[in-house]
Amino acid sequence: MRRDEAAMRVLITNNTLDNRAGSEVYVRDLALALLRRGHNPVAYSTRLGMVANELREATIPVINDLRLLTAIPDIIHGQHHLDAMTAMLHFPDTPAVYFCHGWLPWEEMAPHFPTIQRYVAVDDLCRERLQCLHGISGERIRMIRNFVDLRRFALRGDLPATPRRALVFSNYINEDGCLGILRQACAGRGIELDAIGLSVGHSEARPEQILGQYDIVFAKARCALEALACGTALIACDAAGLGGMVTPGNYERFRALNFGIRTLRDPITVETITREIDLYDAAGARGVTQRVRAEAAMEPAIDQIIDVYREAVDAQLAARATKYPEKETDYRTHFLTASDYLRGVADFTKGRYRAEQERDQARVEAAAQRLRTKQAESELTRIRNSRLWPVVTSLYRLKDAVWRRSAAMLKIRQDNRHDGDNQGIHGSPAVNDHPRIFEQIYQHNSWQSAESRSGPGSTLERTKALRQELPAVLSRLGVRTLVDAPCGDCNWRQHIEMDLDAYIGVDIVPALIEDNRRRYQDFNWKFEVMDLIKDPLPTGDAVLCRDALIHLSLADIGRALSNIRRSGAKYLLATSHEAISVNTDITTGGWRSVNLMLAPFNLSAPLERIVENAQTGKILGVWALGKP
C-alpha cells in the first residue's frame, strides 16, 4: 500500500465467478492485488464456481447474497450491469465506478445511477460504447487498459528463426468451428498446433506455465496480452475473425483496441492464416514483447484503479455536500433511475427469451420436418415398386411440398393451429400411439445429436453441472434405489459414480432398452420397457424425470405426475424452467420449456435445485411426493 493510501473495503461485482474467462480472471487478479496492498476486497456474483473457489482459497470473501455483507463497502467496483445495479441498490450511499470490458455483450451495458461517479473503459472501443451508445459524457470516463502480472507470466528465451509449435488460446474456437482450418494451415508450414480453452474442454488454470513453450499463439484480448508478455509471436484471431500477426508497426493499433473484436476483420481461411504465419519474425516479436512488458504491467494499472476509486469517493462527497448540505440524501432520484434501468432490462430480457424460444421451437420443427421427409421418401420408394402408378404423381408433389416448406410457413401454420384451439389443453395423440412416436425419434435420431440419441441435452457438455452435483443431492436425500424414467441411452449416466443399491432405467422405446441392456451389461443396472404416463413404475426412493416432461402435452404431463405419485417414491427429481412465465401446450413428441411451479401443475418451490443452465433458467428440482 502506498503511504497516502488508507485501506478500503472494495465490493467487486461480475456476471459470473465460475469459469476462467476474461472478466472473471480480471476480478481474481484485481482482488489479489488489492489484498496484497492491504485493502479488503469482497467479490459478488449470483453465479459462483471455479474462480470463486480460487478467491476463497486466497482468503478473499465471495458472496452471492449481499445480505451477508454487513460491513458497508467504501467503493463498489461494478462490472456487468445486473450484478452492479444489485449492489448499488443494496448500498445506496456507496460511491461506484463502473468498468466496461466489451463492445458486444449485453452484460457490459453501462447503467446510469446517481452513485456511479466514474466509468472506466479498458480500450478505445469500450470508450466508444460508453460515449456513443450509453450517453456517458467524456469527462466521467477514464481509460485503464488491461494489464499482465509480469511476475507470473515470465519471459521465455529467444524465439527460433522458424516456428515449430503453435497454440490456440481461446474459449470460443473449437473443432466445430475454425480449429480445423488453423490445423490445416499450420500443418502446411510444418507447425504442430495445440489448443486450450473451454470450447475444447481444456481450461488451463496456469497458462503462464505453458505459453512459453510455443512460438506462435492464436488469441485475442487478455489471452493475447498474456501470450505477448511471455515472448511468443501473436496472431490476433478468434471465432469472430482474423486480425493478423502483431508487429512493431501495428502494435499500437492492436493495443488500443485490446487485440479485440474491431481488429478481427478478415475471414479465417487456410490462405489467410498461412499468409499471417509467413509474417513470423522472431526479432519483431521480441520487440513487441518488450513494449508489452514495459507498458502493460499490473502494478501501474492497479495504481490507476485505486486513484479512480478515491476520485469517485471524493466526487460523491462533493456532490452530497452541494445537493444535500443540511439533510440526508433524497432517494427519489435513486428510485426513478432504477425504474428506468429495470424497464430497459425487462424489454431486452423478454425479447431475448422470446427469440430463444422461437429458435428452439424451429429446431424441433426442423427435426420433425426431416422425419416426415424420410417417411415420405420411404413411402414413395415402396409405391414406385408397386403397380399403383396413378398415385405416384400426387405423392411426389406432397413430398416436394414438405421438403420446400419454409420456416416462415411452418410458423404460420403453427400459429393457425394455436388460434383454432380451445382455451383449454391442446389435443394429444392417443396414449397407445406414444411408443410409435418416440420409437421413430430414437431410430431416426430426430434430435440430431452426434453424441447421444437422447438429444443434445444428454451430452457431456450439457450435463456438466448435473454430473457434478447429483450424487451429493441423492446422498443428502438418502436415496438408495433410483428409478430413471425415462432413462434414454444413459449417455451421461455412465460417467458418474452414485452410491446406490439399485438403479432402474425405464423407457417407452423397446429398441432403446435392448440397446441399453447390451451396452451396460457389465453394470449392475436394470432396464424395463415402460410408459411413464400409464404403466406402474418400479418401487424406488426417488424418480428421476429429466428432460422428459418437455416433450409431453400438458395433459400427458399431468398423467405422468400422477403416475409417479402412485409409484410410492419419496422424491421427484424433474426438469423445470424457472424463467418462463406461462406453460404453453404442444402435441406429445414435440418440445418446449415447462415450469412445474406454474399452472396447471402448481408444484411448490423445490427442496433443492441443480442449476443446469442459468441463462435459460433450466434446473433439476427436487420435490417431496405425498401419498397418492
* pLDDT tens track for 113-152: 989 999 999 999 999 999 999 999 999 999 999 999 999 9
Whether the Cβ atoms of residue 563 and residue 537 lie closer than 8 Å to each other = yes
d(CA 211, CA 227): 6
Is 429 part of a structural domain of the chain?
no
- As a whole number of angstroms, the longest Cα–Cα distance in the chain is 99
Asked if residue 557 and residue 455 are part of one domain, the reply reads yes
CATH no. for residue 291?
A: 3.40.50.2000
pLDDT band at 325 (very low <50, low <70, confident <90, very high): low
d(CA 586, CA 365): 12
Asked if residue 482 and residue 566 are part of one domain, the reply reads yes
Asked if residue 481 and residue 616 are part of one domain, the reply reads yes
d(CA 375, CA 345): 45
Is 158 part of a structural domain of the chain?
no
Q: Which domain holds residue 198?
A: 165-295
Q: What is the pLDDT of residues 399-427, one digit of tens each?
A: 554 554 444 334 434 444 443 343 333 34
Q: Which amino acid is at 577?
A: H
Asked if residue 463 and residue 383 are part of one domain, the reply reads no
Nearest-CA neighbor of 473 among 317, 274, 619?
A: 619
Asked if residue 276 and residue 136 are part of one domain, the reply reads no
Whether the Cβ atoms of residue 618 and residue 546 lie closer than 8 Å to each other = no
Q: What is the pLDDT of residues 262-312, one digit of tens each?
A: 999 899 999 999 999 999 999 999 999 999 999 999 999 999 999 999 999
> Is 209 or 372 the better-scoring residue by pLDDT?
209
Is 322 part of a structural domain of the chain?
yes
Is 59 part of a structural domain of the chain?
yes
Q: Where are the beta strands (DSSP E) in 492-541?
A: 502-507, 525-529
Asked if residue 363 and residue 268 are part of one domain, the reply reads no
Whether the Cβ atoms of residue 254 and residue 246 lie closer than 8 Å to each other = yes
As a whole number of Å, the CA-based R_g of the chain is 29
**Exposed (0-12), middle (13-18) or buried (19+): which is 315, by Cβ within 10 Å?**
middle
Q: Which amino acid is at 371?
A: L
What is the share, in percent, of the chain residues with pLDDT greater than 70? 84
Question: How far is the CA of 75 from the CAs of 194, 199, 314, in angstroms?
Answer: 42, 35, 11
Asked if residue 577 and residue 608 are part of one domain, the reply reads yes
Give buried/exposed letters for 578-601 (b at 16+ CB in 10 A, else e): bbbeebebbbbbbbbbbbbbbeeb
Q: What is the pLDDT of residues 65-86, one digit of tens each?
A: 888 999 999 999 999 998 999 8
Is 335 part of a structural domain of the chain?
no
Asked if residue 539 and residue 491 are part of one domain, the reply reads yes
**Exposed (0-12), middle (13-18) or buried (19+): which is 110, by Cβ within 10 Å?**
buried
Q: Which pLDDT does position 352 carry in this prediction?
A: 64
Query: What is the arithmetic mean of pLDDT over 609-620?
Result: 88
Q: Which pLDDT does position 193 carry in this prediction?
A: 93
Long-range contacts of residues 19-25, Cβ cutoff 8 Å, at least 24 apart: 19/49, 19/50, 19/51, 19/171, 19/198, 19/203, 20/50, 20/51, 20/198, 20/203, 20/204, 20/205, 21/171, 21/198, 22/101, 22/221, 22/222, 22/223, 23/79, 23/80, 23/101, 24/51, 25/51, 25/222
Asked if residue 468 and residue 555 are part of one domain, the reply reads yes
Look up residue 403 and give its three cell numbers: 421438403
Q: Which pLDDT does position 627 carry in this prediction?
A: 53
Q: Can you give the length of the chain in residues?
A: 628
Is 617 part of a structural domain of the chain?
yes
d(CA 506, CA 511): 12
Asked if residue 278 and residue 200 are part of one domain, the reply reads yes
Asked if residue 447 and residue 579 are part of one domain, the reply reads yes
Q: Which amino acid is at 32?
A: L
Backbone angles phi, psi at 195, to 5 degrees: -145, 140
Q: Are strands 96-100 and 75-79 parallel, antiparallel or unpaired?
A: parallel
Q: Is 377 helix (H, G, I), strand (E, B) or coil?
A: helix
Asked if residue 460 and residue 584 are part of one domain, the reply reads yes
As beta bridge partners, residue 118 has: 97
CATH no. for residue 512?
A: 3.40.50.150
Whether the Cβ atoms of residue 74 and residue 313 lie closer than 8 Å to each other = yes
Q: What is the DSSP letter of 149?
A: -
Look up residue 518 and give its three cell numbers: 447390451
| The domain boundary residue, chosen from 420, 447, 469 | 420
pLDDT band at 333 (very low <50, low <70, confident <90, very high): confident
Q: What is the pLDDT of residues 170-180, one digit of tens each?
A: 988 887 778 88
Backbone angles phi, psi at 289, to 5 degrees: -60, -40
Long-range contacts of residues 402-410, Cβ cutoff 8 Å, at least 24 apart: 402/369, 402/372, 402/373, 402/376, 403/373, 405/369, 407/362, 407/365, 407/366, 410/362, 410/365, 410/369
| The domain boundary residue, chosen from 396, 420, 444 | 420
| The domain boundary residue, chosen from 395, 420, 445 | 420
Q: Which pLDDT does position 348 carry in this prediction?
A: 64
Q: Which pLDDT does position 370 carry in this prediction?
A: 74
Dihedral sign of CA atoms 317, 323, 327, 331 in order: negative
Is 487 part of a structural domain of the chain?
yes
Q: Which pLDDT does position 57 carry in this prediction?
A: 93
Can you say how many angstroms the Cα of residue 255 is from the centroid of all Cα atoms in its chain? 28
d(CA 436, CA 431): 10
Range from 128-142, 310-324, 380-394, 542-556 carrying the lowest mean pLDDT: 380-394
Query: What domain count does the chain have?
Result: 4
Look up residue 515 and give its three cell numbers: 440397446
Is 268 part of a structural domain of the chain?
yes
Q: Which pLDDT does position 418 carry in this prediction?
A: 43
